[in-house]
Structure 1
Amino acid sequence: MKTIVLDPNKMNRTNSLKIFNKINKKLLKQIRADRNYQTPQGYISWEELSGIVGVGLSTCDVEFANADFSAFVHSHRMSLWFIQDAPLYCITDELFQAFDNTDVLNKPGVLTGWQPSLPTFLIALPKVLKSPSGDIDYLVVHCNNNQHPEWGTGKWRDIEIPEIQTQDLHFDWSTTSSKETVWMSSCQVTDNGDLSYNDDNNLGRNTIDEADREFLDRVRNFVVNILLSLEYSPTLNTEVSDGEIITKSQGFGVIKNPNIRRARWLGKGYQTKSDITKSGTHSSPHTHWRRGHWRVLEPSSDNKWKQSKRIWIEPVLVNS
């Protein structure tokens, strides 16, 4: 479910956004006058994110969907994130590593009764995730619930965001890599809380290979951990302080804007759990993760999502 924007002249996302800025100055000026998200140092900036939003708003029409559906979905989701004034989270390196080593995809019923309370959000990543086609520094996540059709559509100025027909309960994530690759994956949640997806269903211009499947699986596992943590581990979610904000006045034509939106931390202050194994006269085992998981505790009756519990059994770094 990826699509690559081919370019023989070593194009990358940064260069593409600079070109887009020259062609679409009016649109980007409107976006940046309307909104200003602030992020800590080391994370994707609003200059770059607003450029990606601009691309999304200009390519989220049905005609573009017929040309490249995966790229259209990403444009659609980035547009919704902006229009719905949805949250922006910055996850710390420590928590990313912990979630990356917490198995959730094969946990039966891990999303039993799932009712998403947050339709759309964006995760800004530190420099920890590489795809087979470039670095990944953000993920936009969208959840669908047919009881809330307004989650999947919207309007900003004269731009209409069309509705995409989906299953009753599902989530999807998408992103663009540093080398202009659009990655996306959709996952249905079955009635018994299991996850249903098909990585052989290629929606882009390229054939999915084994390395691609491994990457999709890794990100999918990470996203489910995020969905669970937002519901059941609220202490991981904190505000970004003034001293952590890096405000840039140059770059892609950014203008000063009082309409500030703050990023939030996921995992600020989180510390990796470690264990040093004492093995006597024997050689110590190499450093490795004792992988984590989520313990599912369902209520005795009515199996309601808000009445159930998911307890995170954290991974442990052994002999670090």
Structure 2
Amino acid sequence: MKNITVIADSRDSQIKAFIKTDSNGLYKILARKNYKIPKSYIQWRELAALISMNAPVFNHHSLDLAQRFTAHRIALWVVQDAPIYCLDSQLLQQFQQTDVGDENLIFRDLISQIPLHSMMLLLPSKTVMSPEGGYVDFLNIHCSDIRHPEWSEGEKYGISPHFLKHEQDICFHFGCIDTKATLWFSGWGVNEDDGIIHQQPISYGSAKVGTKDDSFVRQLRSLTMQCLMFLTFESSGNDDVTFKETINSTGFHPLKEPKEKCLYPRWLRDQEKTPTRHIRENTSHASPTPHWRRGHWRRVAVGRGRVHRRWNWIKPTFVTGSLE
């Protein structure tokens, strides 16, 4: 699940050194995509460099499994021209205050309806911190199915990742390289006949994994799971990031969109504002300390005769002691 790549003293140092040499040429190709990303997220220059450093090395036997799996999934994102999503900070906070619940039931339904199989998820900068103090600002997410090898193979830009067979019917993986250059990778498998999640308590990397690491990986897994659930069951449409959302508000940048061709990621955010819940104070007991009332996911009956089931997100609310 974790491996430390010792090339420089930080991820930023690795990126700067790589861009200077640009040894594989993929970076120049990706840079021309010219993604415009909001300033509070990792910028395309850095992300393109990280992708270029990892995607071509998925088949290098000198790497441990965590590195090879991460590189392979990143390579799939590249060759499949998969989308980039920016997770809104408010939605991230809501996910962090939500209990996933019965994971087995969730994925039994999710695997048959998931709308995409590869994505790059960008997290707001300096919001998700690892036990070692590095920040996770992106997650590469991939879903593979033994009946659909085309989901997990392709060829483009001189790289051709092949389908990696696995024991379970369907596997979900997520991976990233945090700001301290620590690689995090994990995943789980699901068999359609029982819908039970299978995950071995092992490390795919060469580094020793401790209790805090396990807990952190579970946090990332919950976040990954809820993003996929939101896309599948809750999202009514995801707007593209606009040019205005990618510039600073200082007035030093042009307000008109540049003429050169550029791409924009999609937003992963709640279209409806979540109202804050208030507790009345006209009671005999003391007002509670402000706190989050945690959210959860609930399976509800829908459709004609209410014979079908779908997952509904009961959002968390912030409870205060003020008057309504």
TM-score (norm 2): 0.85
2:5 is aligned to: 5
Conservation of the 8 A alpha-carbon contact between 1:188 and 1:197: yes
Q: Secondary structure at the match of 1:109?
A: helix
Q: Secondary structure at the match of 2:273?
A: coil
Which stretch of the first structure deviates more once superposed, 172-181 or 161-170?
A: 161-170
Q: C-alpha separation between the residues in 2 aligned to 1:318 and 1:310?
A: 24
1:250 is aligned to: none
1:23 is aligned to: 21
**Pairing partner for 2:108 from 106, 109, 112:** 112
Q: Secondary structure at the match of 1:160?
A: coil
Q: Percent identity?
A: 29
Conservation of the 8 A alpha-carbon contact between 1:2 and 1:184: yes
Conservation of the 8 A alpha-carbon contact between 1:239 and 1:264: yes
Superposition misfits of 4+ residues, deviation over 4 angstroms? 256-259
1:46-57 map, 5 Å: 46-57=44-55
Q: Secondary structure at the match of 1:216?
A: helix
> In the TM superposition, what whole-angstrom CA distance separates every residue of 1:59-112 from its partner, at most 9, and x where no partner exists?
111424xx3110111111112112211111111111001111111153551122
Aligned residues: 302
1:136 is aligned to: 136
Conservation of the 8 A alpha-carbon contact between 1:68 and 1:205: yes
1:302-317 map, 5 Å: 308-317=309-318
Conservation of the 8 A alpha-carbon contact between 1:41 and 1:245: yes
Q: Secondary structure at the match of 1:54?
A: helix
Which stretch of the first structure deviates more once superposed, 172-181 or 284-293?
A: 284-293
Conservation of the 8 A alpha-carbon contact between 1:94 and 1:272: no
Q: C-alpha separation between the residues in 1 aligned to 2:121 and 2:177?
A: 13
Conservation of the 8 A alpha-carbon contact between 2:242 and 2:264: no
Q: Secondary structure at the match of 2:106?
A: coil
Conservation of the 8 A alpha-carbon contact between 1:236 and 1:270: no
Give structure 1 stretches of 5+ with no counterpart: 248-255
- Structure 1 residue identity aligned to 2:214: R
Question: Which of structures 1 and 2 has the larger relative contact order (alpha carbons within 8 angstroms, sep 6+)?
Answer: 1
1:220 is aligned to: 221
Residue 193 to residue 314, structure 1, CA distance change in 2 (3 Å): farther
Tell me, yes or no, if structure 1 residue 188 matches structure 2 residue 163. no
User: What displacement does 1:177 show?
Assistant: 0.5
Whichever structure has more strand as a proportion of its residues is 1
Q: C-alpha separation between the residues in 1 aligned to 2:196 and 2:261?
A: 40
Residue 82 to residue 38, structure 1, CA distance change in 2 (3 Å): farther
Residue 319 to residue 201, structure 1, CA distance change in 2 (3 Å): same
User: What displacement does 1:298 show?
Assistant: 6.2
Tell me, yes or no, if structure 1 residue 292 matches structure 2 residue 290. no
User: What displacement does 1:232 show?
Assistant: 1.4
Q: Secondary structure at the match of 2:46?
A: helix
User: What displacement does 1:318 show?
Assistant: 1.3
1:80 is aligned to: 76
Instruction: Indicate the RMSD between aligned Cα atoms, in angstroms.
Output: 2.6
Q: C-alpha separation between the residues in 2 aligned to 1:292 and 1:240?
A: 27
Q: C-alpha separation between the residues in 2 aligned to 1:16 and 1:108?
A: 39
